A and B are shown apart, each in its own frame.
Chain A
Amino acid sequence: MSMTISEKLLALAAGKQEVHAGEIIQARVDKAMMDDILGPRIQIAEQLEKLGCRIWDPERVTVISDHYTPPANATQAEIVKFTREWSASNGVEHYYEFAGPCHQVMVEKGRVLPGELVVGTDSHTCTYGALGAFSTGIGSTEMLGVLATGEIWLKVPQSIRVRFEGELPRGVMAKDMALCSIGRIGHNGATYRALEYCGGTVERLPMDERLCIANMAVEAGAKNGVIACDEVTSAYLREKGIPQGERFQSDPDAEYYADYCFSAGELKPLAACPHEVDNVRPLEELPVTPIHQAYIGSCTGGRFHDLQAAAELLKGKKVAKGVRLLVSPASREVWLACDRAGILSALVEAGAVILGSSCGACLGVHSGAIGAGEVCVSSTNRNFIGRMGSKRGQVYLASPLSVAASAVTGRLTDPREFL
């Protein structure tokens, strides 16, 4: 029987020839990722010790302190210290801190390969689907089970195929594709299901942009997002010296729960308006909305391609008075690449503040929280009430280009005004 790419990935993890949507499988985990905020400190360290268990295979485990680095206070510092010490005493050699948001670090450091089953204590673990892996976010107790046994039970998801065909217009980025699809599917339209992105537009996207789309799959409720490997994937892995892994395609007659088709040429720069990610509107249709903070960063919108696009738009322009443009490159590697390309200086010349590579501002725990009555336009992935600070603040999600354009005008702005 024919299978989708997600079914093939789970069949491999379950050691079976075939699995199909609805089946409950016991799967072998290839890689496990924990962060500082929901990693060892929540249940895991305590319960693992109580159970008298050791990590099944520390080589397959990565721990990344990214949410509380740099710590804003002593409590956060203690959490990072605990995470670091726990990793060392449990034989986890793949430990990173101050390296950037975990999902970018995982990808850059080759901790995810095509074909693998990867679980992480962060909902945006679905990012690695851009590399043709099956990856999904899990809770801390669930992770404890994985660490103890190396296995997890999973219900094989039905797949929803999201196809984009045609050329993206100038000023439209992968973030707009993600927002457009979530707006249509709804924030729970893909719950328990896989989102499989395909079509000519997706095939022409560089890896930075594909990672952005897969990253947002969970914002439609999806278990995983996935993009089939191709030459772009191979070239990306080769360039980073990462093995090619195992690659799969969906069978032509595989069964899908639903099909969505988008004509890329008709897409416009979009914003997810407060306080839901599926509350999506074209920027050009929004009323005049003054902003106080513009943020470019995170595992969604802080990669080289994102900062480069923002810097190009900002060249020769200045951030509006009364607006702060904060930029956090998504990793040390992204930082270095942007620095070498003159992107960081271009951003600073336009008035941006460059922050450390961190998750801080995205969830308002340090480095750029917003106050009551403040409006932030952000290249991140969530605009829930209180997400970036005050519950009386407002967060609009948009592409890095739209964030940069808004920073220049001081109001929510369609970047095509500048192109």
Chain B
Amino acid sequence: MSLIEGRALKYGDNINTDIISPPAYMELPIEQAAKMAMSPVDESFASTVRPGDIFVAENNLGSGSSRETAPLTLKALGIRTIIARSYARIFYRNCINLGILAVECPDTNRISRFDRLSLDTEEGLLHNLSTGETYRCDRIPPHILELVNCGGLVESLRKKLGKD
């Protein structure tokens, strides 16, 4: 069984890519740009986030740009797991390609900032250890799970090309 435990950093609807990765900082190296991640809605984000935190949002997470700088900056800050009610498609795919687990859960509105979460990817369950509640998550499609388990698209390519 694979369990992922972490502290929730919780945001609402429509956290778009311009919020996660503001365009003014995209010219900077990822580590520097990461310091400004989420700054349009939360200037303290980069100083609050700790490696292993779980990024939680509600509807339409990552809408807008195709910029991979959005998940890259989150990853640079130590985020490996994202849970949202729904995603914009390019952002979702970018997360998977970078080996970030992006999970859909219809009940993220019940999660608060700093709740302790435990995600059971095999059972498709999300336990909120702070409230004692358990939420159902969408199962990750097998072709996507395969990519994440590989560590992302680059690792999967390495395997594939090696075999060829």
Give chain A's interface residues, CB within 8 Å of chain B.
24, 37-38, 42-43, 47, 50-51, 53, 68, 73, 75-76, 79, 120-123, 125, 137-142, 144-145, 148-149, 153, 187-188, 191-192, 221, 223, 276, 363-365, 369, 382, 384-387, 389, 391
Q: Which residues of A contact B67 (CB under 8 A)?
A: 37-38, 139
Q: Which residues of B contact A125 (CB under 8 A)?
A: 66
CA distance A153 to B156 in the complex (A): 13
Chain B, interface size: which category? Answer: 35 or more
Given contacts A148-B161, A384-B64, is CB(A187)–CB(B154) below 8 Å? no
Chain B 88-104: CB-based contact to A (< 8 A → 1; otherwise 0): 11100110011000000
Q: Which residues of A contact B64 (CB under 8 A)?
A: 123, 382, 384
* B26 interface residue per 8 A CB criterion: yes
Q: Which residues of A contact B39 (CB under 8 A)?
A: 391
Task: Enumerate 6 A-B pairs (CB-CB under 8 Å) in ascending A order.
Answer: A68-B27, A122-B66, A140-B68, A141-B94, A188-B63, A365-B24
A-B contact count (CB 8 A): 123
B27 lies within 8 A of A391 (CB): no
Residue of B nearest to A77 (CB): B27
CA distance A192 to B157 in the complex (A): 24
Among candidates B18, B98, B143, B157, residue contacting A24 with C-beta atoms closer than 8 Å: B143
A365 lies within 8 A of B27 (CB): yes
Interface centre among A141, A148, A363, A386 (most CB of B within 10 A): A141
A141 lies within 8 A of B68 (CB): yes
Given contacts A37-B26, A75-B27, is CB(A221)–CB(B63) below 8 Å? yes
* B22 interface residue per 8 A CB criterion: yes
Closest Cβ–Cβ distance, residue B44 to chain A (whole Å)? 15
Chain B 69-84: CB-based contact to A (< 8 A → 1; otherwise 0): 1011000000000000
Q: Which residues of B contact A140 (CB under 8 A)?
A: 68
B18 lies within 8 A of A123 (CB): no
Closest Cβ–Cβ distance, residue B102 to chain A (whole Å)? 13
Interface centre among B66, B71, B161 (most CB of A within 10 A): B66
B41 lies within 8 A of A187 (CB): no
Residue of B nearest to A141 (CB): B97
B40 lies within 8 A of A139 (CB): no
Given contacts A363-B23, A386-B40, is CB(A221)–CB(B68) below 8 Å? no
* B112 interface residue per 8 A CB criterion: no
Q: A120-B66, A144-B154, A386-B18 are in contact. List 5 more A-B contacts (CB 8 A).
A: A137-B66, A139-B90, A365-B24, A365-B27, A391-B39
CA distance A148 to B155 in the complex (A): 13
B154 lies within 8 A of A141 (CB): yes
* B1 interface residue per 8 A CB criterion: no
* B59 interface residue per 8 A CB criterion: yes
* B50 interface residue per 8 A CB criterion: no
CA distance A149 to B87 in the complex (A): 27
Q: Which residues of A contact B24 (CB under 8 A)?
A: 364-365, 369, 386, 389
Q: Which residues of A contact B60 (CB under 8 A)?
A: 187-188, 191, 221
Among candidates B18, B72, B89, B143, residue contacting A221 with C-beta atoms closer than 8 Å: B89
A47 lies within 8 A of B154 (CB): yes
Residue of A nearest to B26 (CB): A37
Near A by CB (< 8 A), chain B positions 133-161 give 143, 152-154, 157-158, 161
B88 lies within 8 A of A191 (CB): yes
* B14 interface residue per 8 A CB criterion: yes
Q: Which residues of B contact A73 (CB under 8 A)?
A: 27
Closest Cβ–Cβ distance, residue B99 to chain A (whole Å)? 10
